[in-house]
Structure 1
Amino acid sequence: MSASAATYNDLVGKRVLVAGAASGIGRCVAERFLTQGAEVIGFDRDADVADTPFRLWTVDLTKHEQVAEACARLQAEAPRLDVLVNAVGILRLGQTDSLTLEDWHACLDVNVTGAFYLLRQWISQFQRQRHGAVIHVSSNAAHVPRVGMAAYCASKAALASLSHCVGLELAAYGVRCNLVSPGSTDTPMLRSMCPSSAERQRLLEGLAEQYKLGIPLGKLATPDDIADAVLFLASAQAGHITLRDLVIDGGATLSA
């Protein structure tokens, strides 16, 4: 966590659910909410990780029954939910004509349908309590085409549209719904795709064969960079911000 990380006193005691909390951006977001004094519950398909400082439940967001059962358990404990963060995401690469059906459906199931399942369990609660914040972690790939990334780009663009539609439905109840869209971020997902420092340097310089610009700031994002934005959007300081998509990619998409 950066030394300059902001403090949001209004997040103390808030009840926060973070999906995708076992690793990467989701884990960082969950831990940062803890530092603000929030109560944090995490969902993840891979919840068998040691020493999480918050409750982490095994939930596969692509399984409607698992999502419904876990959310019902939380609502039985206490119906209130102040912040819902969806940081679940997978990447499947391949040209459209060679991409497997399994990879196509996996991207849509995890990146979009899982969010839909999660929202369905909480929309009525947000409407009853008439407050709350929803933040989805999307990607700058929702804004620009990439060669070999049709499934990922389509799924993240669909997530953005879903978020905006739900945000409109919830606005009348005082509930805000926003997205944070990272670019290349130093996470296990990126390191599995670019395991060497030379490959990561190419990301900074640009991949012409993929029509992918480099990163003007000359560095990868960190999970804390993304968590900073999530906490801000969850806080009272963002109290008049909804239906927005905050792109955090060091300038890589230029005009997004």
Structure 2
Amino acid sequence: MSFDTQLKTEYQDKVVWVTGVGQGIGLSAAQHFSKLGAKVIGFDKHFSDTTCLYKSVQCDLAKLTELEATLSELVAQGLAPYNLINVAGVLEFETIEHLSLAQWMQCQTINNSAVFLFIKACYEHFKTTQQGSIVTVGSNAANTPRQKMAAYCASKAAVTQLTLTAGLELANYGVRCNVIAPGSTLTPMQTGMWRDESGANNVIAGFPQEYKLGIPLQKIATVDEIARSIVFVASQLSSHTTMQVITIDGGATF
């Protein structure tokens, strides 16, 4: 049986939650799961394409109390996920000296605390069904500090350990939890840091003055490259993989 056939068999009518489906990696992941037959429930503040979604949930991940109630309601409706895919994230680009408390909290809340609520909302379901998996999109910046990215790096380090701890706790129930850690990927978050049209070339070459290596593969990742990795790790094709951080950055942090 081909990999594609195995995936379609596994995902037919399965409920998959994906956060951050408004654009970028989240949208690409939602599209890939949908093509495999999954019923994708997508979460975001704004949506650019809902054709791949079984249900769209408009929400602000920074409003934790409202988010907790929304997730509880979905579970009560019988829409708890087979796969939970945490993609949504924000970047605050500023030195520690000039970083405000509000900016710091924005990163911690959306990138980490919201993921905690998603995992917690699905926890009992995963224990009961004893199937499925959680994949969190972290970052290679969780282990490699970047100038002007203290809030982001800290939040991604925290959510990495949150996900791995969930994997340890859920291992006895056969539920796997892994982290996909991308490097520079062609998303609005990435291009938002570019000063001009040479941005891509600069990222590939690296910034020695900022102690940032370039990318040995000489290219920036596409959202589809990251999304395909998410699908693989989430699926039974990767059935013996849990509590792992899989870095996909073209060799930038070797």
Same fold, TM-score > 0.5, yes or no:
yes
- 1:59 Cα shift? 1.5
Render the CA deviation track for 1:3-32: whole Å, top value 9, x for unaligned: xx9552322222100011111100100011
The two structures have a TM-score, normalised by structure 1, of 0.92
Q: Which runs of 5+ in 2 are unaligned?
A: none
Q: Which residue does 1:147 correspond to in 2? A: 147
Q: Which runs of 5+ in 1 are unaligned?
A: none
The two structures have a TM-score, normalised by structure 2, of 0.93
What is the number of equivalent residue pairs in this alignment? 249
SS in structure 2 opposite 1:128?
Answer: helix
In the TM superposition, 1:86-235 aligns within 5 A as 86-194=86-194, 196-235=196-235
- 1:79 Cα shift? 5.0
- 1:65 Cα shift? 2.6
Render the CA deviation track for 1:66-91: whole Å, top value 9, x for unaligned: 22232233223325421000001111
SS in structure 2 opposite 1:202?
Answer: helix
Q: Which residue does 2:38 correspond to in 1? A: 38
Contact 2:18 2:43 in 1 (8 A): yes
Q: Which residue does 1:58 correspond to in 2? A: 58
Q: Which residue does 1:14 correspond to in 2? A: 14
Distance (Å, rounded) in 2 between the aligned partners of 1:42 and 1:79 = 12
- 1:170 Cα shift? 0.7
Distance (Å, rounded) in 2 between the aligned partners of 1:120 and 1:17 = 14
- 1:199 Cα shift? 1.5
Distance (Å, rounded) in 1 between the aligned partners of 2:15 and 2:211 = 42
Distance (Å, rounded) in 1 between the aligned partners of 2:187 and 2:196 = 13
Contact 2:40 2:52 in 1 (8 A): no
Distance (Å, rounded) in 1 between the aligned partners of 2:61 and 2:69 = 11
Distance (Å, rounded) in 2 between the aligned partners of 1:194 and 1:215 = 16
Contact 1:111 1:156 in 2 (8 A): yes
Contact 1:79 1:125 in 2 (8 A): no
Distance (Å, rounded) in 2 between the aligned partners of 1:91 and 1:167 = 26
Distance (Å, rounded) in 1 between the aligned partners of 2:4 and 2:147 = 37
Q: Which residue does 1:85 correspond to in 2? A: 85
- 1:111 Cα shift? 0.6
- 1:56 Cα shift? 1.6
Distance (Å, rounded) in 2 between the aligned partners of 1:123 and 1:207 = 42
Render the CA deviation track for 1:204-248: whole Å, top value 9, x for unaligned: 000112211000000000000101110001111111100001100
**Between the two proteins, what is the percent identity of the paired residues?**
39
- Provide runs of 4+ in structure 1 moved above 6 Å: none
**Please, which moves more after superposition, 50-59 or 34-43?**
50-59
Render the CA deviation track for 1:107-136: whole Å, top value 9, x for unaligned: 111111111111111111111111110000
Distance (Å, rounded) in 2 between the aligned partners of 1:110 and 1:72 = 18
Distance (Å, rounded) in 2 between the aligned partners of 1:6 and 1:213 = 36
